[in-house]
Amino acid sequence: MPRPDRHSAAQVFWRDPALPFIEARHVADGRGLHYGRHWHETHSVGVITGGRSTYVNGAHAEVVEQGAVVVVNPGDVHGCNPVDEAPWSYVMFYFDPVWLGRVQARVRGLADPAFRPYAQAALRAPHLVAAGVRLFAALTDARRGTAEREAAVMDFVAQLDGELAPGSVPEAVAPKVARVARHIDAHFADALPLQDLCEAANLSGSYLIRAFKKRYGVAPHEYQTNRRIQYAKARLRAGAPIAEVALDTGFADQAHFQRVFKRMTAATPGQYRD
């Protein structure tokens, strides 16, 4: 069954096992929510429904206000935070990029279903904000069936795709840098000293950090932390105990895991899971 996860008046998480390609979050008052730099494996779209916030996505930085839409491609290092602790509200949608690639191909009449990133980091589009609000209402309406919800998602994504400029195909990653990322992906729960990563890539520490940040937007240790949190979110969505997730993701203890998780997601593990 669909599960709106209500923790307080401030925010609502929504997910439904019948629609595994989308997750959503509504924040009614984001004054107390602060995000560290982070990235998602999903393609993320946020609609600003009230107030304003800072928005940083890679080299792009601006203050976004009510009526704006923010667009975060998978792997984009980004963050949004309140301006002078003033109220602001938004709805976020997180789309599986494999599913989204198939939708892009269908909408654009393409043969290749690979996901194509978007060029715009943000745009002012009050009509898309209104469409996002309607979508969240449809997703959380218990009277609506799965087919009706899925149709609402498809309508929103098709409308969004028609508004956004398609981006260029990402450049190939330098093989040695890609090797380090794969090594972190495979061993993210382990202690990974910089020297070990340098040996895996046969690169000096200073060069590796520069090259890694140029490609992934963060240093290797930040990438590892983000990878741990992405895995933790998947485990929490499956209902795993928080203490078990903390241990499996390589944190020193549950308290450390809780602090990092909240810094990266602006929610506690319990809020995200329950």
Q: What is the pLDDT of residues 63-91, one digit of tens each?
A: 999 999 999 999 999 999 889 888 899 99
141, 163, 185 - which closes a domain: 163
Q: What is the pLDDT of residues 245-256, one digit of tens each?
A: 999 999 989 999
Q: What is the pLDDT of residues 148-189, one digit of tens each?
A: 999 999 999 999 999 987 766 666 668 889 999 999 999 999
115, 143, 163 - which closes a domain: 163
Q: Are residues 111 and 33 located together in one domain of the fold?
A: yes
CATH of the domain at 234: 1.10.10.60
Q: What is the pLDDT of residues 6-56, one digit of tens each?
A: 434 478 999 999 999 999 999 999 888 888 889 999 999 999 999 999 999
Q: Are residues 29 and 101 located together in one domain of the fold?
A: yes
The DSSP line for the chain is --EEEE-SSSEEEEE-TTSTTEEEEEES--TT----SB--SSEEEEEEEEEEEEEEETTEEEEEETTEEEEE-TT--EEEEESTT--EEEEEEEE-HHHHHHHHHHHHT-S------BS-SEEE-HHHHHHHHHHHHHHT-TTS-HHHHHHHHHHHHHHHHHHSPB-PPPPPPPHHHHHHHHHHHHHTTS---HHHHHHHHT--HHHHHHHHHHHHSS-HHHHHHHHHHHHHHHHHHTT--HHHHHHHTT-SSHHHHHHHHHHHHSS-HHHHH-
Q: Is residue 169 part of a domain?
A: no
Q: Are residues 179 and 258 located together in one domain of the fold?
A: yes
- Structural domain of residue 255, as residue ranges? 175-273
Q: Are residues 36 and 152 located together in one domain of the fold?
A: yes
Q: Are residues 71 and 157 located together in one domain of the fold?
A: yes
Q: Are residues 60 and 121 located together in one domain of the fold?
A: yes
Q: Are residues 86 and 14 located together in one domain of the fold?
A: yes
